[in-house]
Structure 1
């Protein structure tokens, strides 16, 4: 038996099949039971770890499909061997499908670093699930062996079946392949049907966060719809399988494009100017005929939304391309664009802020008071010529005592960390503006966005200027991308003409007209923060605490975090207090759930109790997402309780006047907290309040909340 055949045979075994099983009333229970099956066969090191990763995927979008099917799936560090665990459920369990509960559930478990061969097998199963004959056979199976044989047949396709899914026109050009940075495949569709639907050609891209299941099921659903309509459809699946992008010639000849994605489309600029219908990936599974009909209509509508060259958000098939682009509303696009900027900005904030905090730890908090600044030490000293700390302290009373370390080596290293951190932090506003523009106009918007952000910094417009400059640069770049230019000029547009023209327009408008008013607004906001005291400061802490705990890493949480991290650039006591309130409040939800599972374990399932143990470390590290498994299972109790505790913590931080000079790290950046004791006390207060609230809510519930 070949290696490939062995891998296929081992994908599912008799021990991984449960027929007509009652695994609980909730999807969490089903996933936990299937994860336990996988771990019990030695294919995962931890059932809890696999279950946690699968539930984290569920939190992104439900995995229930029409027709009574559920495909919870994930990549997990806990998985050692690519595995399928199957349960035919009785009674049905709700996995979020629009038509009700599921009686067929597959847990698709892939190793975090699994090979492509295993992923091909997993996606073969996902594609079979959209075929009624396959699901009917699963429901009719009388033994576990029948299920294993059925699954083995679909994940071990014959050469004829493989040929049927090979694109008719595969691109062999390296230049075409390089346009898609993630693995992509061209799924075949029906042959052209003369005279049917006017001989239209439609191309599509499907992509989901993990790239294992929904990506390929959406592709096959669209292919089946195209066969029913008698039109030509080619699908590029941007998933985990290493396959081929759509040929450029095919895209050029297409009448319309469908984007069914929950993640940004890779190489989106290839489709620029094409009529587009965009939605999340699940709509292509649930309503493929409707999406195809919309694409055909768009192909003949001069006012239809068109691909502008880029988009950056879950399901953002046509960012900023006007109404009518599938399910993507204007406000969803606005949120996606802003969150794109924030998500790319955060690494600069985290790296720069933590390096600055390390500089304070090594050299002391008065490293900023050195004559000429920290950079003066770096320019005049080295590891072989350390600074004279005694002379520095004698020259400035602020540096005496604990203001500056006594060790010349520590002072020098602290200056190094502080300077590198300051340089990294200086990219905060340009990165924010650059990637907001990227979210609107894709790659042609990056250079104008960074330019507008740099002008915002120069003008003193700060964070507000970065937002305005990024939006302005993106819109200008997008407008230029819509110009109808000669074909010979199109190749120069995204790499030279659009960046140049948009940089001049956006940068010029910021410098000449918008920079000073925005700088005045930024200074006013800074002065307002610095002037907060008493009840006003406490109220701000309450609001920030509520925002941090509302959606546990979602847009509201990110908005509060972005507000705090942007304020760090001001280096004022008020901005440090805001940062402290945001981080402390964000630590409360996972810590509260950990405490609640410890004091009343009978209220929680075995899996939840294991998640509670992990939540201690996640909360201490400021990873609010540690509470997501609990919130997903019981949002009406967990989220309000978390918000109450977060509000208490935010208010306490502001009342104590606690300051924090690092943007991330939780208790592990204790050296950046002033004082650490009040920060710890504020987190403790919120954790206790939140834990008591969720425990009481669960204990007094009329219906049980845990299996």
Structure 2
């Protein structure tokens, strides 16, 4: 099937009026609907937006390819739209998009339709196609250009070329969740760059129609390395013992030259198939090395921890709406429902934040055998008041302890293989991790006590310096011993009738989530889709004095985020002291502002200034996200 059978004059819009991403989507859907291609316009939009939630379809180079495969499509179709001024489409390269191809595939799209859609995706990797589309003045010119580049036999030509390929050819696999656009765009980007570099390459595509141009065992055996640019599961066991470069499919589109050069140099970890033995002792996850490996393990913990932070934090914030002491049965404000949701959020969901962080970091390092030791170590960190930093220590400690245990017992007779995952790894892993955590992390409580004595020694001789210190302490470890020391000092001062320190403490605790929420709003290209969504919830956590809302950001990028939040919180704390603000309430965020002593508007101003300082520092320090596609 020709692409021009799916892209017709009535599905071409050369003068898009939209100025935003969602408006572009609406306008393109309207074109499809008017052309009679949809069964359900609303359901189709939901499919498009669901795909956008996974990752942006703005691939860069001025192109966006929103797409969906759904029963809401009556007839498979493509709509092309062009914006002369460009639209901020959250593209991978941070640049505006000018050319839009919306792909509407039916739930049961046949093979000929899928092949045509895949050819369109690959075609857009050619610079001359993009330039021609930008210059096109009529629908006929667009169709003529597409027709001239449409090669139905292109894949067959590649197969023929591959059969006579020389020994040592670079191999690649591309795959994306929907298997319509990014799979083929990554494949074509790699092929075009390899041709330009004079390198022989074969690319297997795992699209909606199944795997095409499948790599043979002989080719795999001869290849110096394999590039796997994929965001969905592909058959990896066949690459056992080969250097494998594993990256998101977006990197295949954006960084083909770098990937090919790495493959030529064999600059890649050796892949070990998970299923080579049943004990789980070998894992492809362990192939990552250096900073990339550290970051990968860290993000595995953070991404799994995030739902507990968001769910628990919002529930705590809602409970405050009934009154700051509404969850306390002894308070006149007591509300049973407030107690229930505060218990769910604060005493249960929040209790799991640190153990889950540690457990999934350890699991990323050592596969399933690392999970239990990581969880136990994380729980010990939580009970020992070591905060999320203790959780990080526990996660990496447990993971590498289990890796060591696997190595020690690697030569056990095969008859004991069944005992490794159910007895040896969990028993020794939990014991050794727990033993080290007991002696290493729990003494942090002594640090906590020492910090409280030091703060008490400062007194109120210099309130501004004290406010600066207390504010910074609230942000440095966000729930760890330093944070708890400052908070406990504030409670002691309230009991002593001095309400100034706690005003600085609450301001300092509100700034980290609020500052990061502002950063994700105004520096969107510096954060992933997941981080931007988490940033939105930080507005609610920040105003509710839930500092832990910033933990995912601090855990994933501590060298930039922690200094930024500490500086912003220090500024807010110092300003509250300068403005002579007092706070007799121990918790509650904006819900206790009515009891603030002093000018409440100056208190809000102090928190706002600190949050802006944090947002600006984060925005300045962080680099733009290069890959968001999933």
CA distance 1:494–1:278, change in 2 (3 Å) = farther
- State the Cα distance separating 1:620 from its structure 2 match: 6.4
Are 1:465 and 1:518, in contact at CA under 8 Å, matched by a contact in 2? no
Residues 177-206 of structure 1 show CA distances to partners (whole Å, capped at 9, x for unaligned) of xxxxxxxxxxx96776578224x6745355
Match status 1:126 vs 2:121: yes
Residues 304-324 of structure 1 show CA distances to partners (whole Å, capped at 9, x for unaligned) of 5234789xxxxxx9876466x
Residues 122-131 or 484-493, more deviating: 484-493
Match of residue 395 from structure 2: 470
Match of residue 535 from structure 1: 464
SS of the residue 2:269 aligns to: coil
TM-score by length of 2: 0.59
Are 1:645 and 1:688, in contact at CA under 8 Å, matched by a contact in 2? yes
Match of residue 559 from structure 2: none
Structure 1 vs Structure 2 CA RMSD = 6.4
Residues 348-357 or 580-589, more deviating: 580-589
Q: Distance in 2 between matches of 1:589 and 1:203?
A: 37
Are 1:204 and 1:235, in contact at CA under 8 Å, matched by a contact in 2? yes
SS of the residue 2:125 aligns to: coil
Residues 221-230 or 578-587, more deviating: 221-230
CA distance 1:150–1:351, change in 2 (3 Å) = same
What is the correspondence of 1:346-361 to structure 2 with a 5 Å cutoff? Answer: 346-358=306-318
Q: Distance in 2 between matches of 1:518 and 1:338?
A: 22
Q: Distance in 2 between matches of 1:322 and 1:672?
A: 48
What is the correspondence of 1:187-586 to structure 2 with a 5 Å cutoff? Answer: 193=163, 196-198=166-168, 202-207=171-176, 213-222=181-190, 229-230=199-200, 232-236=202-206, 241=208, 243=210, 256-260=225-229, 274-279=242-247, 281-285=249-253, 288=256, 291-298=259-266, 305-307=269-271, 321=287, 330-358=290-318, 365=325, 367=327, 399=330, 402=332, 405=334, 410-411=335-336, 413-421=337-345, 422-478=347-403, 496=422, 499-500=425-426, 503-504=429-430, 506-521=432-447, 534-536=463-465, 538-539=467-468, 563=478, 572=488, 577-586=507-516
Match of residue 138 from structure 2: 143
Residues 670-690 of structure 1 show CA distances to partners (whole Å, capped at 9, x for unaligned) of 557775894896169838997
Match of residue 609 from structure 1: none
Q: Distance in 1 between matches of 2:94 and 2:325?
A: 59
Are 1:53 and 1:75, in contact at CA under 8 Å, matched by a contact in 2? no
Q: Distance in 1 between matches of 2:482 and 2:106?
A: 41
Number of matched pairs: 527
Match of residue 612 from structure 1: none
- State the Cα distance separating 1:466 from its structure 2 match: 0.8
Match of residue 554 from structure 2: none
CA distance 1:17–1:539, change in 2 (3 Å) = same
Bigger relative contact order, structure 1 or 2 (CA pairs below 8 A, ≥6 apart): 2
Task: Return 5+ residue gaps in structure 1 as ranges.
Answer: 166-187, 311-316, 324-329, 371-398, 546-559, 594-616, 625-641, 663-668, 695-707
Q: Distance in 2 between matches of 1:490 and 1:218?
A: 44
Are 2:133 and 2:142, in contact at CA under 8 Å, matched by a contact in 1? yes
Are 1:64 and 1:96, in contact at CA under 8 Å, matched by a contact in 2? no
Residues 604-629 of structure 1 show CA distances to partners (whole Å, capped at 9, x for unaligned) of xxxxxxxxxxxxx99965799xxxxx
Are 1:473 and 1:502, in contact at CA under 8 Å, matched by a contact in 2? no
Match of residue 682 from structure 1: 604
Are 2:405 and 2:429, in contact at CA under 8 Å, matched by a contact in 1? no
Are 1:307 and 1:321, in contact at CA under 8 Å, matched by a contact in 2? yes
SS of the residue 2:173 aligns to: strand
- State the Cα distance separating 1:281 from its structure 2 match: 4.4
Q: Distance in 2 between matches of 1:154 and 1:565?
A: 60
Q: Distance in 2 between matches of 1:649 and 1:75?
A: 45
Residues 258-293 of structure 1 show CA distances to partners (whole Å, capped at 9, x for unaligned) of 2436x6978878866542234564553355465345
